[in-house]
Structure 1
């Protein structure tokens, strides 16, 4: 299998996508397949560019053994759509935003939604926990653990 490059994308790249990056890296490490993957995250907006992940999200992730170490950056369409094999959006608005940024049809075909790979949880989107409480951050991690495992299984079969 050729190295698979996956970019996780949410709105500001401080809650959901850095968490997806950390969860996916955890799954990859557990399976000893780090040499087969490159994982990154970005946001559709640049409002938090240069900032670490949200402190609340980090706190909940640490409880599960995940370290959110990435620094927020915006999607760079001229680079990211060419470089990454998979552009994984957290919700329908992210899909619409990414589709609008995509430079061509080939790039649009790289856009998928995170919950399309969920195996057990019946959600259509990974909800943004930013304005909610602890339960929202826990739900995000539950969804990401399920869907990242599904994505890993799918990509690993290619």
Structure 2
């Protein structure tokens, strides 16, 4: 039971840490937080940076503290260890499928978990708290709607490696 759920975006300082923090909160509320390892990483980032100030503010508005988050560049080990990989955009999905062809069966758009298919727009660089809040709320809604599917896929797609 359980597994590793990996969220991937570009910089790992807005969308994927939001998704990581929100899902950890949902799992905690559901009493399943010890069964799953929830992580995030970026396709184009430097390791060790904090989440953006607006990301931290938006998450605080949701009563979630991700101040201990530090950016991580996506590695082949991350991909191998993940039971489920949820990306923010179709571009991320296509790039990861090309770089890690063995991961295709466990690679999805986050929006697909809620029965949809669209990109989560990146608020980074905007400086707008409203855009960050909108992004966080959208991710939260998708995670709530797709929660059962996320758990199902995380448990049925064992990590390879």
TM-score of the pair, normalised by structure 1: 0.88
Indicate the RMSD between aligned Cα atoms, in angstroms: 1.7
TM-score of the pair, normalised by structure 2: 0.86
Runs of 4+ in structure 1 displaced over 4 angstroms? none
Rounded to whole Å, the distance in 2 between the matches of 1:33 and 1:22 is 14
The C-alpha deviation readout for 1:55-90, integer Å capped at 9, x for no partner, is 11101110111111221011102x122100111101
Specify every segment of 5 or more residues in structure 2 that has no aligned partner in the other structure, as ranges. Answer: 156-161
Asked if structure 1 preserves the Cα contact closer than 8 Å seen for 2:57 and 2:129, the reply is no
Cα distance, 1:123 vs. partner?
Answer: 7.0
Of 85, 106, 111, 2:107 maps to: 111
Rounded to whole Å, the distance in 2 between the matches of 1:7 and 1:113 is 12
Name which structure has the greater RCO, CA cutoff 8 Å, separation 6+: 2
Asked if structure 2 preserves the Cα contact closer than 8 Å seen for 1:9 and 1:90, the reply is yes
The C-alpha deviation readout for 1:45-64, integer Å capped at 9, x for no partner, is 13x32101001110111011
Asked if structure 2 preserves the Cα contact closer than 8 Å seen for 1:44 and 1:97, the reply is no
The C-alpha deviation readout for 1:82-137, integer Å capped at 9, x for no partner, is 100111101111112211221x33x1111100111237xx7711100013322211
Give the total of aligned pairs: 151
